Every structure is written in structure tokens, then in C-alpha cells.
A and B are shown apart, each in its own frame.
Chain A
Amino acid sequence: MTGHSTKFALLIVLPRRFSRLALWAVCLAFMTHAVAAPEIQRWDTTNGARVYFVQAMELPMVDIQLVFDAGSARNGDKPGLALLTSALLDDGAGDLDADAIASGFENLGAQFGASSLRDMGSVTLRSLSEPAHLDPALDLLARILRTPAFPADALERERNRMLIALQSQDQSPEDIAQKTFFQAVYGDHPYAADPLGTPESLPALTRGDLEDFYQQYYVARNAVIALVGALDRADAERIAQRLADGLAEGGRAAPLPPVTPLAEARTEHVEYPSSQTHVLVGAAGITRDDPDYFPLYVGNHVLGGSGLVSRISAEIREKRGLAYSAYSYFTPMRAAGPYTLGLQTRGDQAQQAVKILDQTLGNFIQGGPTAAELTASKKNITGGFPLRIASNSNIAGNLAMIGFYDLPLDYLDRFNERVDAVTINQIRDAYQRRVHANQMVTVTVGTTAP
């Protein structure tokens, strides 16, 4: 981010089109042609957790991700509950407190993580693979899963830190725009609420709420376990079983309610004293298993998903210099995730930019891509396939995504052929049926243009 570190270069490989809320729902689109996808091994633990394993012997390390259908969409009438539950996982397990857990992992060089988005709650562990490091790290992880303590004093601390995080959002025009956008697009749907909850909801959450949430959603049948690393199959089976044994068997979370599309276009403006106006335009889009996924994904790559060579970027940035970042992306989720178009520009240029964005979208819906554009996008997507499975962490993310959204095991193997099969007509047809410019939300955050 800002200008003081030479190290932030690590961040540059994350293109803006990846939503912060369903990061992996989007960022794991890839596949194969010349390059074989990794061989995925798949089984269930005895209590019904679905396991996905890829052996990778080159580095002496292991990545483990447990992904639960336990995101903020499961909060019911308690906004913030899923995230607070996740945040407290390493604050107590049995008689271990937060200090003991933190030093337990870190004394082994292991890295523990817990996160929660709208669809998923996930727990991750990265460890060296040699047993002297891996075994005690797994013991600790299993203990957390089996007996999370949710200590009352840690609950207060983390609740307060989430309240601070809410204030931090309120001083970011970009965050304000995102929140407003989700509320406007999703109305009464569980996706409307921000995972952080609200200043009103957080104080009401109790330890009992967290325990109930954990007991209902952090259960084996609601879990996917992804393993990548220097393990053989027998080791991987033992590890998955050991972790799942700590979980109640439970059941899968109920389907989410469908999203009701907006009946008409809607405009929301939030007045904010920033020099730029942040603009988000969009509507509910697609589920991860949507039959139109490939035409829409490839079509959007042409429209606003391919960085500076995309149409939106060409119109907004390259031709007119209106914004540093102008983009569009689908976020396929369990229920219909959003289709988002966005930019940020000096306040007095906002109206002009919105108009161009709308025109660019309208033209695309009407005419679809040109043959040359489609070919270029296909080449980028399919030619870049090897980059998407190049590291253990890439592969682990793919496994979690495939497992969580019940995609077929040959999803990676067939991705490139499915991209290649998309036609101009399919894209135009899918956009005309699914993307309705007259039923979209337009959010602006900034000062009103004079």
C-alpha cells in the first residue's frame, strides 16, 4: 500500500478485480491445456468430512485448510457472529489460553490462521512436514477444533477490536461504498450484511451464541479438508481423520435462500469528504455452479476482467485518464454473488465516469465481444493456466474452492477446454439474459458534484 516499504511488492500480484469478500470464489479460475492439473485424491473421513489431497514432495512443508459453510451468511439475526467465532478460535482450547496457543504454534515455526467471509469460515495451518514439527502442530490444531474455549475475557477484547474495525471502515470511502453496495443489492438476503456486524449487533453477542454457532456449523459434514504437501496418502488419511475426529458429525448447512433480483435501477449516494468519488455499479450475479458460468466469466474478462487491456479500463483509464483502477468482476458464491463494476475518480468527474461505465456495459450487453477480443481473452486465460497451479498455496486454495462449491474433480482438467468452447453468441446470449443494466444499483461515495 503506501509508500514506505520496499516489501509491499508482495502485494502487487493481487489484482483489484478480486473481491475482498469472496476472494477465492473468483481468484481460482484456471485450468489446463498443455499442463496437467495436479492429481487430486478424494475421500471422506468416517464422520463425513470431505477430504481433497494433492501430494507435493518438492518442499518439506504441508498446507492444511479446513473450510466450513460457516460464513456471515449463517449469522441469522446476529450480525458479526461468524467472524467473532472465527476470531476467538485461537484464544482458548481446553485449558490452553491464547498465549499458550500462539507460542505453541510459533515455537514450531507453524502458522495458524482463521478467517471468515460471507460464505466460508476457514481454518488454516502451514507447517514443516517433518514429524517433530508437524505432529505437535497438528495436536494443537486438533485441540482447538475439539475444544474451543471462547473465553469470556477474550470475547470482550475481540468484540471491542471489531467495533474499532467498523470505525476503520467508516473512514474509508472504498469500504463505505462496498457496504452500501451489498446492502442495496441484497436487501433482506443474508449477504446484505457486512461480516463485521454492526455497532448495535456486536454488543449483544454472547459466549453462548458463539458456542451454538460452532456446534452447528463447525462440524464434519459441513467441512472440507484440503491437504497439500510432502505427505503420502496414508499420512494424509491419518491427518484428516485426526482433525475431523475433533468435530461433531453434524450436518451440512441448509441451502441459502435465493436472491431476489432488483425490480428496477437504484442509486445510492453517500456524502463523504474525500477528494475522489468511489463508484460501484452492479447487481446479484451468479452462483458457483451456474450453467452460464463460462460464457459470463470469459465475457467479463473482455469487458473488465483483464486489467488494462479490458474494455472498461481502455475507456475509463487509457483513453481518458479518469481513474487508476476501473474494472468489473463476477463473484460466484453459494447463492448468487455480486456482479460488480467499479472505479474511483476525482469528485467532479464522477458523473462523466459513471456515464462511460454504463455505456461500455450497455454496448457489451448488446453486441458482445469481437472475435479478436474473444480470442485474446481465451489465450490469456488458457495460456496462463500453469500460473494458477504453480505453488502449494495456489493448489490448496483450488482444492478448498472445488470442495466447498461441490465442483467435479475434473474441474481443473477440463477448465481450458470449457473456456475454449465459449462462443461470441453464448456470451451475448448469457449477458442479455443475466445482466440487466436497468436493474442495477449505482453507489457513489464522495462529495456531491457542484
Chain B
Amino acid sequence: MTSGRYPTTSNMAQLTRAGRRRAGILASLSMLITSAFFAGVGYAAADATTEPAKTVHEYTLGNGMKVLVKEDHRAPIVVSQVWYKVGSSYEHDGITGVSHALEHMMFKGTRKHPGGEFSRIVSENGGRENAFTGRDYTTYFQQLEKSRLPISFELEADRMRNLVLPADEFAKELKVVQEERRMRTDDNPEALTYEQFSAAAFVNSPYHHPIIGWMNDLDAMHIDDLRAWYRTWYAPNNATLVVAGDVDPEAVYKLARRHFSSLKPSRIPAQKPRLEIAQTGERRITVKAPAQLPYLVMGYKVPVLRTAEDDGEIYALEVLAGILDGGDSARISTRLIREQRIAASAGAGYNPYSRLDDLFILDGTPAQGHDVAELEQALRQEIQRLSDEPVTAEELGRIKTQVIAADVYQRDSVFYQAMQLGMLETVGLNWRLADTYVERIRAVTAEQVQAVARKYLGPDRLTVAVLSPLPIDPSRPPPAMGGLDNNIR
């Protein structure tokens, strides 16, 4: 997720294709697929004559801060992002949500730029800004006309080390975060189901916890929790600065040195491994909430690029996700939605760039006249089929073509190009992986896809959650959810 400092819209899938709409989480999953699956920046098969400089310029300042610069001279703009190696997966019980709460407070001022001056300055310079918190990173960004880049650097360098964190501002901002949680999760039955699904699937991995935090932890959060968190993680040697756009890399490096190199590094604590215990059998949960529609989500424990012994398996899982849900010609659309008509909407997705072992997700809403049991059965049959039979040459070819094309399309977004670099670097991979993505996908064989299906998509690695709708009865009071009563004041 991306609980950002600013509210954002997340219903685009519904907007663009209401007739084909995917239910809440599904819409998100489809984003996950298009972006995760097509995440390469290599240009192996793109038209060589129009290939831009594919070089990323990498620098490291004396204080340990990494700087990545990617040129894109199509328009006179620049994207500047600061990525910190901290997020909800760094948190422990009792302080869940602290990374995200701190992200909100990063806009509340330093001595040099007090109060909301940060946002005001960016705005007056024609900029767009926001921030987002994930499980494995916290990121701040500005998009600006290219000559305004020094403004971004000055403000980001200042708040990297000099945040004030006033208690009275925190009291108000915590209420904002709690409203955000109500909006995103408590009043959204599919999101609520997903939150409890993750908590059931992960026992001791920190992915057990929601990014936004449990409401009760938010209720009890103290400004000192944020101060400690800020002191621990916000330092140049725990940050990566990514700049993409119409810039000269050497000039960006000089500018970065001017603004950031005087910041003192910190001793960053080593992360405990917190490896998820081996799952020893299928898990199932039910979530009851006021809703009109049932919802199913299933997840199989799988490795990711950072944890895999054989990274070829990860690219095979990427292809497998594409076989199931890489467009309207993929198996879920073709078979479950159009042919069998068991699903009104369904999806499959996988994020190979997580820091820790993750889940291969399938989810959906049954079509009229079908129930979640039938939908689950149909999805499990698709998984079984992937284990039993190699995928066809046509399917494999299609996915490879889509990846090559998407690799060109995503170069239309400067923001996305910066995002890839920052994420890879921050989760502990190397940004150069982006350059080899297309060729690694092209190398995947039908046998490898079948092998990962057999190895990882078995029932003992599976968690299933079902949303069981309660009637939406206007005379009923809201369901009791921990921490609804706001006692922060």
C-alpha cells in the first residue's frame, strides 16, 4: 500500500472498465500484476534505433547515501525520490503503524522550515509531492519542472536529519491517520478481509502486520515512538536518492553533494531475520462484516528474488502469474470469467520484490448463481492444471511479447522509472536487475513454470480467507472494531 500523506484515488480499474470491473482488492491486484510483472527496464527487444541511454548513473556520497540518476530528456521535468530502508516490516508488536505515522509527520516541519512550509514551498514551485509507506520502504517524492530540483534537495536534506516532531501536531495527525485507517480498512469489507488474511498467513514474519497499523496500536502511539523511529532510521546511509528526468547526471551528483553530504551518518541496527516458520498445513479463516458480496482470497507461501536459492524460479512464478492473469486472454479471464462464468471478477498476483518471503495471491468474487466454494474450487483447478500440464507455447510467447511491449510503454512514465530503481535498491536487491528483467523472462520455459507450480502451489503452503457478508441493516450500530473510540486527546 501506500498510505500516502495525501489522499489518493484507488478506484481506477473500476473507472476504466466498469463492465469488467474487479472488486476492491482485485483492482489493486491487477495493478500489482501490470507493474510487478512488467517491471523490467532492459531494452533487449525494443527498437534499437530509438533506444535511449539505458545507463543509470550511480554515486555514493561520503556519508553513505546512494544516488541514482536516470536520464529521460523527453520533457523538461524531473522526479526526485528519497527512499528509506524502513517500513512496516521493520516494526514489532505494539508499535505497528509507526513508519506510516512518521511519514505523515515528515510534513510537519523543521526549525528551518516550520509547520506546513514544506508543502507550501513545493506547491509554489509548481510541484507535486507526496509520500508512501510500504512494508519494506518509506518514500518521499516531488515532481517538478527541471530547474526546481534544488528546492527538492534542500527540503529533503533538511528533514532527513532535522525534523521537529511537535507533540501537539502529532496529536492531530494521529487522528488523521486513524481516519485514514477507517476509510481504507475498517469500512471496506474486502480490505478488512485482506488484513486478517495476511495476519493468518504470516505467523512470525512481520508481514503479519498491516502497514497502517492495528487501531489499538495507533490509539496507544506516543510521539516518543516516532522520535525513536526517526532517530534510528532516518539517516543518509539508510537512504537512496533517485532522480529521473531531463537532467545531467554529473550536475545532479554535484547538487546532491552540496545538499546532502554534510549530513551525519548513523549506525543502522542490523535487522533480525524474522523468517516465517514453515507452514505445516492449510489455513482457513472467515471474516464477517457488513457487505453485499462474498469475497475470496487465497495465498501460497513463495520465495522472492531476495530470498530465492534459484532466482530462475522467481521469473517462472512471474510468468505463471501472467499465464493466469496477464490480460483478457489469460486463463482466469478466458476460463473463469467468460467460459465457466464462475467469477464475476478474479485475479492472481505476485510481488517478486518483497524483502521477505511472500504470498502468491489469487482472489475473486463469484458470479451470480455461484458461491465462494465453487470459485475456490475453480481457482484450485487452475493451479492443479499448471502442475499437471506444461503451459502452451502460444501462452508463453504471448507473455514474452507483452513483457517486451510493456517495457517500452512504461518508459512513458518518468515517475515509474525512478520508482523501479528506488524499490530494487531499497529492498536489498540491485537496480541492475531491472536491466536483465526482459531477458530473464524470455528465458523461462514451460517446464520451469510447471516445476514452480508443483513445488510451491500446494495445499500445505496455502491460506484461504472468505468474507462472509453480514446484512447491511441500517438499524444496526457499527460493528465493534477495536479502537473505534478515539482517546488520543
Contacts and interface: CB of A to CB of B under 8 A. Distances in A.
Interface stretch (B118-126, B260-268, B308-316, B376-384): B118-126
Contacts of A98: 328, 338
Interface stretch (B63-71, B137-145, B156-164, B428-436): B137-145
B47 A103 contact: no
A325 B175 CA distance: 12
Nearest to B137: A6
Interface in B1-47: 1-12, 14-21, 23-25, 27-29, 31-32, 35-36, 46-47
A126 B410 CA distance: 12
A111 B327 CA distance: 9
A34 interface: yes
B76 A35 contact: yes
A18 B176 CA distance: 21
B354 interface: yes
B405 A321 contact: no
Contacts of B371: none
Given A60-B46, A60-B408, A380-B124, A317 B345 contact: no
A1 B174 contact: no
Interface string B403-414: 011101101111
B17 A275 contact: no
Nearest to A110: B405
A109 B405 CA distance: 5
A43 interface: no
A86 B19 contact: yes
Size range of the interface on B? 35 or more
Contact of A11 (B5, B10, B19, B210): B10
B337 to A, nearest CB: 8
Interface string A121-149: 00000111110010000000000000000
Contact of A161 (B7, B120, B344): B344
Q: Which of B171, B291, B329 gathers the greatest number of chain A CB atoms within 10 Å? A: B329
B28 A165 contact: no
A38 B337 CA distance: 42
Nearest to A128: B405
B163 to A, nearest CB: 17
B406 A109 contact: yes
Contact of A322 (B29, B179, B409): B179
Interface in B433-489: 469, 472-479, 481, 484, 486
B334 interface: yes
Interface string B309-339: 0000000000000000011111001100110
Contacts of B174: 321
Contact of A87 (B12, B17, B175, B406): B17
A406 interface: no
Interface in A24-70: 34-35, 56-61
Interface in A291-328: 306-309, 317-325, 327
Given A273-B477, A324-B180, A387 B8 contact: no
Given A164-B344, A323-B176, A4 B194 contact: yes
Nearest to B145: A386
Contacts of B368: 160, 163-164
Contacts of B107: 308
A108 interface: yes
A45 B8 CA distance: 39
Interface stretch (B53-61, B222-230, B231-239, B415-423): B415-423
Interface in A98-126: 98-99, 101-103, 105-111, 113-117, 126
Interface stretch (B128-136, B251-259, B270-278, B279-287): B128-136
Q: Which of A6, A20, A98, A127 gathers the greatest number of chain B CB atoms within 10 Å? A: A6
A141 to B, nearest CB: 14
Nearest to A393: B412
Nearest to B185: A2
Nearest to B104: A324
A8 B28 contact: yes
B12 A14 contact: yes
A2 B11 contact: no
Interface string B343-355: 0110001010110
Contacts of B128: 13, 384, 387
B1 to A, nearest CB: 4
Contacts of B111: none
A2 B18 contact: no
B186 interface: yes
A168 B29 CA distance: 17
Contacts of B112: none
B327 A102 contact: yes
B401 interface: yes
Contacts of A276: 179, 182-183, 186-187
Given A5-B32, A171-B189, A113 B46 contact: no
Contact of B479 (A105, A165, A273, A321): A273
Q: Which of A15, A21, A196, A386 gathers the greatest number of chain B CB atoms within 10 Å? A: A386
A285 interface: no
A387 B143 contact: yes
A344 interface: yes
A2 B397 contact: no
Contacts of A381: 126
A109 B404 contact: yes
Size range of the interface on A? 35 or more
A106 B329 contact: yes
Contact of A116 (B18, B88, B144): B18
Nearest to B173: A321
A83 B18 CA distance: 7
Contacts of B180: 324
Given A8-B10, A60-B408, A109-B402, A273 B182 contact: no
Contact of B9 (A20, A116, A380): A20
A344 B338 contact: no
Given A157-B338, A321-B175, A133 B327 contact: no
Contact of B187 (A90, A99, A173): A173
Given A2-B184, A20-B9, A380-B124, A7 B189 contact: no
A170 interface: yes
Nearest to A100: B329
B129 to A, nearest CB: 8
Contact of B74 (A34, A128, A162, A390): A390
A442 interface: no
Contacts of B427: 6
A10 B74 CA distance: 20
A230 B469 CA distance: 50
B77 interface: yes
B328 A90 contact: yes
A385 interface: yes
Nearest to B178: A346
Contact of B8 (A15, A56, A87): A15
B102 interface: no
A35 B145 contact: yes
B7 A15 contact: yes
A390 to B, nearest CB: 4
Given A2-B28, A106-B329, A107-B398, A390 B77 contact: yes
A220 to B, nearest CB: 24
11 contacts: A1-B191, A3-B195, A57-B50, A58-B50, A158-B20, A161-B19, A161-B345, A165-B19, A171-B189, A323-B176, A344-B179
Given A158-B19, A271-B475, A390-B414, 7 more contacts: A4-B361, A10-B416, A20-B14, A58-B52, A99-B334, A107-B329, A319-B172
Interface of B: 1-12, 14-21, 23-25, 27-29, 31-32, 35-36, 46-47, 50, 52, 74-77, 88, 107, 116, 119-120, 123-128, 130, 132, 134-137, 139, 143-146, 148, 171-180, 182-191, 194-195, 198, 210-212, 290-293, 326-330, 333-334, 337-338, 341, 344-345, 349, 351, 353-354, 361, 365, 367-368, 394, 397-398, 401-402, 404-406, 408-409, 411-416, 419, 423, 427, 469, 472-479, 481, 484, 486
Closest 3 CB pairs of A and B: A383-B126, A87-B19, A109-B405
